Amino acid sequence: MKLLKIGGSILLLVTLITTQPKAQDVSGSVYSVYGIGDLKWKGSALNRVMGGTGIAVRDIYNLNTANPAAYSAIASPVSKLFEFGGYSENNTFRNSSSSTNYQAGTISSLNYWFKFSPKFAGVAGIAPLSSSSYNVTSNQAISAGASLIPVNYEGSGGFNQFYLGSSFQIIKNLSIGVNASLILGSINKKAITGANSFSGALESNTKLFAQGANFDAGIQYFFNIKQSQFTFGATYKTSTKLNGYNQTVLTTLSSGSTRETDKLSVNYTLPKQYGVGFSYMRKRIVLAADLSFQEWTKAKLENGAITKDVFRYSFGGEFKGNLETSNYLKAISWRAGYHLQDYYIIVRNTQLSSSGYTIGAGLPLNGNFATVNVNYSFTNFGTTSNGLVQQESNKLSIDVIIRDIWGIRRKFD
């Protein structure tokens, strides 16, 4: 029986690592034209519904990937945990004169948590790092004094991160953790130029391939005063160097003739990140706050991109359900969160920002064997000033958590 459990664990781990979720949205942000696309925030179901908060959160039943030091917080009798989720959202894009709506959806993350010993735990997971998804038409002149012609820009693809992490509670009130992440992906950028007096319609199709790796580490110190628990947390992520190449294929649409350019090496550097957090827990109430900092001025994107350092603020709370009650409504956990963050690229001399809130519920199934987390979030990003676009997102997320899937004793009559 023990061998069966180990074999099942290995099988799920291999499946998790070799399955690549699509980091490609049905339709995403117009600002994903920059860099490697629209960057995604990596977090577990618990973090997402608390506005991205979790650096100092320690939950004995739910996975917290905002700080790898929290992996060791999940306590017995939970010995294994599998989590997967996705979302669907409605995006409204506005400029100074019009608006349009698009639907989007993708996988949020896949996580498998397991325990080596009462104080030593590990995680294997996959999550989108970025996505590029846009379709924009602009009238441009190909030379000085020339008439304007329409140019259609399209982008698709993205990058995924595969990570392995572990956490160890080194003393009674102190836990540390680390993740190692491998990043792989590709982005396709297409530009179709209308016919003009110099040539027929042209299509430029550029494909970018890159890969890299990074490490992040965290620490949590926690202590009790009477019936309250206080936790302080801190995290650090190394810079990420992405190395690869891009190649462009030029096509004359009228004749179908093509010309392929040489492969050109590309190098991006994503910034270091620092974070601190605090949480307070009493009985079934959790309150938490995070502050993180990203050094984008030391990052490297394509030429001409003006970056700025970014702070991110988030707050979250939870009212835990009572799993021992016979009243199902009282067993539901309720959570909410809020975040505020500036955009890391200055666009048309304009500083953009993002803010939003999240509310949700954790619906227990079969006691605490499984939980379905359902949450709604609203995000406002961008501005209509200076000819820019404002994006409003209404998102519905569903995450499923299964605990101890191979740890149940079977009974036969």
Q: How far is CA 206 from CA 160, 163, 236, 249, 276, in A?
A: 20, 28, 34, 6, 40
Task: With H, G, I as helix, E, B as strand and everything else as coil, classify residue 198.
Answer: coil
Per the domain annotation, does 22 fall within a domain? yes
Per the domain annotation, does 157 fall within a domain? yes
Per the domain annotation, does 102 fall within a domain? yes
- Check if the beta carbon of residue 249 is closer than 8 Å to that of residue 256: no
Q: What is the pLDDT of residue 323?
A: 82
Structural tokens at position 94? 């506005």
Tokens 């572990």 belong to residue: 166
146 bridge partner residues: none
- Check if the beta carbon of residue 23 is closer than 8 Å to that of residue 185: yes
Question: Number of folded domains in the chain?
Answer: 1
Q: What is the DSSP letter of 307?
A: B
Per the domain annotation, does 412 fall within a domain? no
Q: What is the pLDDT of residue 9?
A: 42
Per the domain annotation, does 409 fall within a domain? no
Per the domain annotation, does 138 fall within a domain? yes
The two counts, helices (H) then strands (E), for the chain are: 3, 19
Q: CA 31 to CA 408: how far, in whole Å?
A: 48
Using alpha carbons, select from 293, 394, 261, 348 the residue that is nearest to residue 34: 348
Q: What is the pLDDT of residue 143?
A: 62
Q: What is the pLDDT of residue 309?
A: 95
Q: What is the pLDDT of residue 198?
A: 57
**Mean pLDDT of successive 10-residue segments in the chain (413 residues)?**
39 38 46 82 90 95 95 90 91 83 82 92 94 79 68 88 96 96 93 70 89 97 94 97 91 81 89 97 95 94 82 96 88 96 89 94 88 95 88 93 64 39
Q: Which residues contact 144 (CB under 8 A, 6 or more apart)?
A: none
Burial of 181 (0-12, 13-18, 19+ CB in 10 A): buried
Per the domain annotation, does 410 fall within a domain? no
Per the domain annotation, does 408 fall within a domain? no
Here the CATH number for the domain that contains residue 185 is: 2.40.160.60
350 bridge partner residues: 347
Q: What is the pLDDT of residue 275?
A: 97
Enclosing domain of residue 139? 2-403
